[in-house]
Amino acid sequence: MESLLKTPGRKPLRFVGVFAIALILSISVSVLLTNYLWTAPPSPFSGGQTTVDNRSSKGFGQPAPNLSNAELDLHIEGDRAFEATFVTPPAPVNAGLGPLFNNASCVACHVGDGRGMPTNGSLLVRVSLPPGQSQPHHDGSIFETRSGKSVAEASVSLGNAPPVPSLGTQIQDQAVFGVTPKADVEVTWKEKTGTYGDGTAYGLRSPLLNITLPNGNPLPANVLTSLRLPPPVFGRGLLEAIPESAMVDLAHRQAQRNDGISGKLNHVWDVRQKKLVVGRFGLKANNPNLFQQNAAAYVNDMGVTNPLFPEKNGAQEIDLKTLKAITFYTQTLAVPGRTQLDNPMVKKGEVLFTQANCAVCHVGALKTGNHPVKAIANQAIHPYTDLLLHDMGKGLADGRPDFEASGNEWRTAPLWGIGLTQAVLPYSGYLHDGRARTLEESILWHGGEAERSKETFRTMAKTDRAALIQFLNAL
């Protein structure tokens, strides 16, 4: 100021004039921006340019609309592979099932490219010995069951999830004729009750596993188990295309909050590269990419050997072309766009979702980076996940570590399309094992890092809870 006063006449005047114009401009821009931010509708383009306008039961199964014709052909080839039901070899069509398996096709568990049902046939159980009781490293080799049948098991962790003798790391409770399944799995549900802040009662259920080995004995008590519901598969290419740096940045920003919410990356075995890389897929982010995720699902879930996980003698029941096609398919499934953008309850629910800190982990806006598949590269997306592992508390813990994920940690589930769940698969459940019958229940199961957010929801007014749920249903 002093210098201004000392300066002769016109200069300060000119400066003041420019400053005033700049001020007016910046205020205008600021007002415009603020106005925009306050009034801008939420983006319906949940998957960027891969978004489709489809709120039907087929909403998870659409090809991304920005594929070229040649890419669409490849997507369709992958779609056929995804739908194919395998049968016991020899067979004229779709030979390759088993000998041990959980189900006979991709789509049988990922119904309509979404999740599975919390019932036998869809649910599967991962098992391992406690860390320290380690068997030799196991990275996709052939595993022999007690009956002498060879079973390839893929993508299992190094060291901290040692395979169980005669069971490996996944219980295939189905087998082709003449082969004994690894075990019989029975799931029953235990009920408990709770009350909302306003006194309204609610019920929660959790699974009880009753696993019987072929010899009639129960599963030994020291074996760690983890019940899993098949997760949706659409939009996964976009998640593959999120730069690792963005995930690191999210983890860093969460750590700076100092409020107990702090995610971390998993580092998992990449079978092709033969090294540890960042994990993204699977409920504990224990798979690094969709190629490996699909190859592992073929061999682990259906007993179908493939180029990444072949038989001991190198034989494969599907070829590289098929594996590549199905990988492309899962990379290029569209994301359904949001609905009810102008609904006041939905708008209110979104605000409450953010205020309750849900959006710290269920991150609403991310950008994909470069990717060999152009359609999913450099997209502004709204997945509502950070792809990071979080401690979700004892209530949800499976107690079974997986690479760097502890027994308490789970990868944040993407929430895009969650509102279509009951249209795609009525009566299905939520969370890693399908225990939650409603979205309310799934929130109420949150604990650990999400305990405070859960409590915020639990103690909300009834109308606010309804608004938050309506927001989720509109995703």
Partner 1 sequence: MNLRSRPNNLSLFLLCPMLLAGILSGCRDTATSSESTAPPAAVNAKFDRQILRDFVAAVVVPSNNQFAQQASMLSKTIDAYVAAPSATTLASAQAAWVKARAAWEQTECFGFGPTTSLGYDGALDTWPVNETDLKALMKSKAPLTATSVSKMKETEKGFHVIEYFLFGQDKRRQPTDLAQRDLQYLQLLGKDFASVATDLATSWSKGVEGQPAYQEVFGTAGEAGNTTYPTVQAGTQEMIQGMVDSLDEVANEKLGKPLAEKNPKLAESRFSLNTLTDIKSNLQGAQNVYLGSLPDANTSGKGLSVYIAQVNPALDSTVKQKFKVAAQSLEQISEPLETAVLNPKAAGSIKAAQSAIDAVRETIEKDVKPLVVKS
Convert residues 360-399 into a mask of x (bound to partner 1 by CB under 8 A) and - (unbound).
Answer: ----------------------------------------
For residue 395, which of 450, 347, 354 has the smallest C-alpha distance? 450
Contact positions with partner 1 (CB under 8 A) in 323-342: 334, 337, 339-342
Candidate ranges 62-70, 268-276, 295-303, 447-455; the one touching partner 1 (CB under 8 A): 62-70
Residue 45 binding partner 1, by CB under 8 A: yes
Query: Which of 52, 224 has the CB closer to partner 1?
Result: 52
By residue count, the chain amounts to 475
Candidate ranges 20-28, 35-43, 158-166, 209-217; the one touching partner 1 (CB under 8 A): 35-43
Instruction: For residue 250, give the 3-state DSSP assignment.
Output: helix
Residue 348 binding partner 1, by CB under 8 A: no
Residue 57 binding partner 1, by CB under 8 A: yes
Instruction: Give residues with Cβ within 8 angstroms of 455, minimum separation 6.
Output: none
Query: Which of 138, 382 has the CB closer to partner 1?
Result: 382
For 303, other C-beta atoms within 10 Å of its C-beta total 26
Interface with partner 1 (CB under 8 A), residue from 316, 445, 473, 475: 473
CA distances 357 to 125, 286, 440, 453, Å, are 32, 26, 16, 6
In whole angstroms, what is the distance from residue 292 CA to residue 375 CA? 20
Convert residues 288-317 into a mask of x (bound to partner 1 by CB under 8 A) and - (unbound).
Answer: ------------------------------
In whole angstroms, what is the distance from residue 101 CA to residue 147 CA? 15
Residue 39 binding partner 1, by CB under 8 A: yes
Residue 10 binding partner 1, by CB under 8 A: no
Instruction: Give residues with Cβ within 8 angstroms of 357, minimum separation 6.
Output: 259, 261, 452, 453, 456
Residue 46 has which token pair?
Answer: 């949940």
Contact positions with partner 1 (CB under 8 A) in 260-289: none
For residue 240, which of 200, 191, 294 has the smallest C-alpha distance? 294
CA angle, residues 424, 283, 105, in degrees to nearest 5: 50
Query: Which of 129, 334 has the CB closer to partner 1?
Result: 334
Binding residues for partner 1, rule: CB under 8 A, are 35-36, 39-41, 44-45, 49, 51-58, 61-63, 65-66, 72, 76, 79-80, 82-83, 85, 87-94, 97, 104, 107-108, 111-113, 117, 121, 174, 176-178, 334, 337, 339-342, 419, 422-423, 425-428, 469, 473-474
